[in-house]
């Protein structure tokens, strides 16, 4: 049986990954790691074609989503997201004392127009969405970002699983990263199984 309801890899890691972990498990594990993850961010910057100081690293995208909300939400602020979606958003908004604005997806899981109309301080978009697996094309995400008064956070935890959809969408990761870079968008996601890391990409200033 393959468990699909969490962002886990049903396949074992490549032997080269296990070798790299074994190599890294040396005497330095008694020390704290580089808190700013310079090496990871430099590599991510090369892959996505954006400056390294516009990238944050975190212990999985859950941590990054929590940090983004902690940094941006005051008690009572509105946080909008289409539903049904990733259930943790409710919890993260509640932890910050925010007001969740739940906007129902239409039957085809396209972007609900009421999302932009909610005029929230932060809008969360899980893309591809969990549990529907549907993808909002980049043009729509761009248009949403332009229509919003606040911050748009796009959670791309599952984007690498939508290979065919990405091919149809025709937008490679660097192009999405550039959109995030230019607009009020934080692109969160990219986990590597339980060895989770995440690196949101965002416009200048937000990452600092």
Ligand X SMILES: Cc1ncc(COP(=O)(O)O)c(C=O)c1O
Applying CB under 6 A, the residues found at the interface with ligand X are 6-7, 60-62, 86, 126, 130, 155, 157, 191, 196, 198
Nearer to ligand X, 84 or 119 (CB): 84
- Cβ distance to ligand X smaller for residue 61 or 123: 61
d(C-alpha 127, C-alpha 138), whole Å: 10
Task: Decide whether 146 or 194 has the Cβ nearer to ligand X.
Answer: 194
- CA-wise closest residue to 207 among 175, 177, 181, 170: 181
| H or E element in which residue 15 lies | helix 15-24
Helical packing angle, 61-72 and 88-95, nearest 10° = 40
Distance CA 42, CA 156 (A): 20
Task: Give the residue nearest to ligand X (CB).
Answer: 60
Strand partners for 101: 80
Q: In this structure, are strands 99-104 and 122-126 parallel, antiparallel, or unpaired?
A: unpaired
The least distance separating ligand X from the CB of residue 31, rounded to whole angstroms, comes to 24
Shortest reach from residue 196's CB to ligand X, in Å: 4
At a CB cut-off of 8 Å and minimum separation 6, what does 146 contact? Answer: 183
Whether the CB-CB separation of 104 and 82 falls below 8 Å is answered with yes
Per-residue exposure over 132-159, b if at least 16 CB sit within 10 Å of its own CB, e if not:
eebbbbbeebbebbeebebbbbbbbbbb
Closer CB to ligand X, 144 or 153, in the complex: 153
User: Min. distance of Cβ 82 from ligand X in angstroms?
Assistant: 13
Beta carbon of residue 157, minimum distance to ligand X (angstroms, whole number): 3
Whose Cβ is closer to ligand X: residue 7's or residue 123's? 7
Q: Of the two residues 6 and 14, which places its CB atom closer to ligand X in the complex?
A: 6
CB of 126 to ligand X, least distance (A): 5
Q: How far is the CB of 45 from ligand X (least distance, A)?
A: 19
């Amino acid at each position: 049986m393959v468990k699909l309801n969490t962002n886990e890899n049903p396949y074992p890691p490549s032997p080269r990954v296990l070798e790299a972990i074994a190599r890294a498990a040396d005497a330095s594990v008694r020390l704290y790691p580089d808190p700013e993850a310079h090496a990871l961010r430099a590599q991510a910057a090369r892959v996505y074609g954006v400056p390294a100081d516009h990238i944050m690293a975190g212990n999985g995208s859950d941590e990054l989503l929590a940090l983004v909300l902690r940094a941006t939400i005051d008690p009572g602020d509105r946080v909008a997201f289409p539903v049904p979606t990733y259930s943790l958003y409710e919890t993260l908004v509640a932890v910050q004392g925010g007001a969740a604005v739940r906007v129902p997806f239409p039957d085809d899981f396209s972007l609900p127009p009421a999302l932009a109309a909610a005029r929230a301080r932060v809008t969360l978009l899980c893309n591809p969405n969990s549990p529907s697996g549907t993808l909002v094309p980049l043009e729509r995400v761009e248009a949403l970002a332009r229509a919003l008064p606040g911050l748009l956070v796009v959670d791309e935890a599952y984007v690498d699983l939508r290979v065919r959809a990405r091919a149809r969408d025709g937008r490679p990761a660097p192009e999405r990263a550039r959109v995030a870079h230019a607009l009020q968008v934080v692109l969160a996601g990219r986990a590597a199984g339980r060895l989770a890391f995440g690196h949101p990409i965002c416009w200048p200033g937000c990452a600092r």
